[in-house]
Amino acid sequence: MADKSVTDNDELKGDNQNRPLTWQQVKALASIKATAERPAGFPSRDPLSFYVQSRPGTEVAPAFEVEYLSPGEYGVGVSRLRVRLPDAVVSHISGRRSHHLDLPSREKKAHPTARVNSYRPPWLDATFIPTTLPRPQLPRIFARERKVRPLYVGPDDRRQILTDTSYPWLCTGKIFTSDGTAGSGVLVGDRLVLTARHVVPWTSIGAGSWWMKFIPAYFDGREPFGSSYVSDVVNYGTDDTEYNLSHDYAVLRLYDPMGASLGYLGSTEFDDGWRNNDNFINIGYMSDIAGAQEPVWQRYWIEDDYEDDDGQTLETEASLNSGASGGPFFAWFDNGSQIRLIGAVTGETKFDGDVDNSLAGGPNMVNLIDWGRANWPK
């Protein structure tokens, strides 16, 4: 499948188009307005959508009831809604296949410098600085002499609640799994999501029955743009612990091509010259803020990077917590016409004795996304 690209600011490309924009450059960019009407199939607000199983050939005939409760007890008008489903049970759509890929040889890289493009549909506005709310001010414990598992929260905590649903902020979402776990993920193709490999429900997969559900821009139980179950999972994998840290990512194929309607991020391998630049954005769902029910936004830098067989482990002191796994770190390129992620959140790691958080990225991540676009097109 040919890569799509954001074209609105193409005329602004300059000599530094292969470097991420500084935050000062990002702030100077004007928001982009949609130039087309949303298509008929655009995902709509559908917070109560669910699937049911029934006997083959049986039509499900739900009964809908509304019960008005006493406002005196609750202080406000409250109604209880009931949907009765005779001869049917609420269910999930099962995944089909999970498989590992062999590592691509250096000679077979998809790109001389590994990167793929982002895509903003013309019917979506784009903003470069998102609208946010302050995070709840709760008592916090900062520790440098001990580990705070599975991710480290530091004293320079910049996280805020993300409320913006324009492009690209709506591309990140929450993932629920049949293992009873949850994580974060981001659209990277027409029907592709990138997440951490350890978010995949390996226990359920080993038992022969599994499911994963992706909800873009999930917020307090609401699905503002609908949701999709995952049909297939692909990743690299070995028994080498260090290798698995630098390759802790997976690409998910959605049953529904949500990226075609909502857009998606591109990706690139991280370059040493981008260290300590305060311009990388992270979004994820974290248990210590709103119980992982609201997306969290922050801007931070990458402190160091470590190479491992075309994989990368990236070090950051950005504050993260459980539920953030699989969330993207990304920046703007090409004077704002491209957005490329450099890695997915993995966990807490020691770097030369220093406890920080880590991302997994590198050329192999880019090539895995490229493989997904070629083999799981729209």
- 61 and 139 in a single domain? The answer is no
- 87 and 150 in a single domain? The answer is no
The strand pairing partners of 345, in sequence order, are 359
- pTM metric for this prediction: 0.86
**Would 238 be classed as within a structural domain?**
yes
Nearest to 331 by CA among 20, 1, 12: 20
229: enclosing H helix or E strand:
strand 228-235
Higher pLDDT, 200 or 83: 200
**Would 133 be classed as within a structural domain?**
yes
285 phi, psi to nearest 5 deg: -110, 115
pLDDT of residue 248: 93
- 320 and 288 in a single domain? The answer is yes
Q: How far is CA 296 from CA 125, 149, 224, 319, in A?
A: 20, 19, 16, 11
25: enclosing H helix or E strand:
helix 23-27
- 203 and 269 in a single domain? The answer is yes
- 80 and 122 in a single domain? The answer is no
Q: Is residue 7 scored above 50 in pLDDT?
A: no
Question: What residue type is 347 in one-letter code?
Answer: G
What's the CA angle centered on 270, arms 318 and 355, to 5 degrees? 35
DSSP 277-325: -TTEEEEE--TTSGGGTS-EEEEE---EEEEETTEEEEEE-----TT-T
Domain that holds residue 26: 18-44+94-375
**Would 284 be classed as within a structural domain?**
yes
For residue 366 the two structure tokens come to: 């880019």
- 134 and 78 in a single domain? The answer is no
Q: Is residue 184 scored above 80 in pLDDT?
A: yes
pLDDT (mean) for 45-68: 78
- 75 and 167 in a single domain? The answer is no
**Would 150 be classed as within a structural domain?**
yes
Q: Is residue 106 scored above 80 in pLDDT?
A: no
pLDDT of residue 175: 98
**Would 6 be classed as within a structural domain?**
no
**Would 367 be classed as within a structural domain?**
yes
Residues 171, 249 contacting (CB under 8 angstroms): no
| Cα 231 to Cα 252: distance, rounded to the nearest angstrom | 8
- Output the domain CATH number for residue 198: 2.40.10.10
Question: What residue type is 246 in one-letter code?
Answer: S
| Cα 271 to Cα 19: distance, rounded to the nearest angstrom | 9
Q: Structurally, how many domains does the chain consist of?
A: 2
| Cα 116 to Cα 348: distance, rounded to the nearest angstrom | 28
- 85 and 204 in a single domain? The answer is no
- CB count, 10 Å around CB of 230? 28
Q: Is residue 111 scored above 50 in pLDDT?
A: no
Instruction: Name the least confident of 96-100, 239-243, 248-252.
Output: 239-243
Burial class (CB in 10 A: 0-12, 13-18, 19+), 70: exposed
- 81 and 159 in a single domain? The answer is no
- 315 and 329 in a single domain? The answer is yes
Nearest to 234 by CA among 272, 292, 188, 291: 188
Q: Is residue 136 scored above 80 in pLDDT?
A: no
CA 288 to chain centre: 18
- 61 and 189 in a single domain? The answer is no
